[in-house]
Structure 1
Amino acid sequence: MTTSRATRRTETTQESRRLLIAAATELFAECGYRHTTFEDIASRSGVSRGSIPWHFGNKEGLLAAVVEHAVADLQSRTSALQPGTLHQALDALVEFTRSPEAKLFITLIAEALEPSSALHERYAFLHGALREQVRFWVEQTALPAGVGAEELSTILVGVVMGVHQQWRIAPDVVDLERTYAALGALLRSVGLDVATHPPR
């Protein structure tokens, strides 16, 4: 009985944490980090306000959990690309672009540009994770002379973020699938295609 109660308590704790992260992700995306309060998150999640500092310590700790969850989500989406192709990688980017986590990073970018902001370090972490995923794809093929995997990864992440921003602002004008298909065609035109992915 004691073990059963402990298991239920653990499951309840994990579910509360999941609900809080999901609510914070939505609210940070809708209202911004600074303008979102613990009361807002508690109301959206259905979890008591007092549970937030218990789980995360403070608002910055909650932000860290939100970003880490988003990065883990991106990595889980791309882990299925073994073996894979550039086409699959671009499909994964389209799927990620449509996700609530991706919207979050567009909403908060202005705050993240301030060096003193709690978001600054988190965005650097996110960008690093994105570059790592893209670099994993581009390193599987020979690159043109003068093009390094790190630099190309930075360029591709910039393209994806720029397309994402345009799509969020004008979704009726910017077609994600066609835009990423064109990106894939451009990459293949210079010999950048990913035929296989070795085990990581």
Structure 2
Amino acid sequence: MATRRIESTQESRRLLVTAAAELFAEKGYRQTSFIDIADKAGISRGSIPWHFGNKLGLLEAVVDDQVQAAPSGFPPPAGDPLDQVMDFIRRPATRLFITLLAEAVEVGSPIREHYARLHAALRQGVLARIPADALPPGTDPEAFAVLLVGAVIGVHAQWRVAPEAVDLESVQATLRALLPAGPGNA
């Protein structure tokens, strides 16, 4: 009986985190209410403070979930790393990063620290998948990871706002051309 209760509690928590992530991506953190999250998850809104304490605690759970998923959001480091990056841009969950960015850059934002952790996980994912020897000579791998994460966020934002104006295949070809020593360009 206790095992079933634990499983039910874990499932409720998972449903709430999933619903919150989708709503935060769609509406933003501030514009999403407990009622919105509970309705989407199909769970009592009283479950949110029980599981997470408050809305910021729920955001922390969403970010933790995304941090855990960020490195695994790409397939294992096999195949073309640039293809993996472009696949990441196309993922619906990537929209969450863009939506949270608008709130995270504000001075005193309660989500700033959490967003910084998310960026760190994305940079680690890049570093794990694009070997230093694939970069042009003299390129700092960590600086490249910062640049690529920034480019991914920027490309994704532009693509979401005006998909007809952003040709992702052309973006990928251009990125590949900028990395002449990169995989697939030897």
State whether TM-score is above 0.5: yes
Give, in whole Å, the separation in 1 of the partners of 2:134 and 2:84: 22
Amino acid paired to 1:134:
V
CA contact (8 A) 1:131 1:154 kept: yes
User: CA deviation digits over 1:12-67, x for unaligned, max 9?
Assistant: 11111111111111111121111111111111110111111111111111111111
CA contact (8 A) 1:26 1:100 kept: no
Query: 1:127 Cα shift?
Result: 1.0
Aligned partner of residue 63 in structure 2, secondary structure = helix
Partner of 2:106: 114
Partner of 1:21: 17
Give, in whole Å, the separation in 2 of the partners of 1:184 and 1:55: 45
Any residues of structure 2 matched to 1:7-156 within 5 Å, and which? Answer: 7-81=3-77, 84-85=78-79, 87=80, 89-141=81-133, 143-156=135-148
Amino acid paired to 1:139:
P
Identical-pair percentage: 54
Give the length in aligned residue pairs: 185
Give, in whole Å, the separation in 1 of the partners of 2:134 and 2:85: 22
CA contact (8 A) 1:96 1:102 kept: yes
Query: 1:142 Cα shift?
Result: 5.6
Query: 1:140 Cα shift?
Result: 4.4
For CA contacts below 8 A with separation 6 or more, give which structure has more relative contact order: 1
Give, in whole Å, the separation in 2 of the partners of 1:110 and 1:59: 18
Q: 2:169 aligns with which of 171, 177, 180?
A: 177
Give, in whole Å, the separation in 1 of the partners of 2:138 and 2:82: 23
TM-score between both structures, scaled by the size of structure 1? 0.83
Amino acid paired to 1:78:
F
Partner of 1:192: 182
Give, in whole Å, the separation in 1 of the partners of 2:12 and 2:83: 32
User: CA deviation digits over 1:68-95, x for unaligned, max 9?
Assistant: 21222222233522xx24x2x2232233
CA contact (8 A) 1:137 1:194 kept: no
User: CA deviation digits over 1:111-157, x for unaligned, max 9?
Assistant: 10123111110111111111111122333416434321111111111
Give, in whole Å, the separation in 2 of the partners of 1:90 and 1:14: 35
CA contact (8 A) 2:127 2:142 kept: yes
Larger mean CA deviation between 31-40 and 68-77 belongs to 68-77
CA contact (8 A) 2:74 2:88 kept: no
Q: CA RMSD in A?
A: 2.0
Partner of 2:149: 157
Give, in whole Å, the separation in 1 of the partners of 2:90 and 2:138: 33
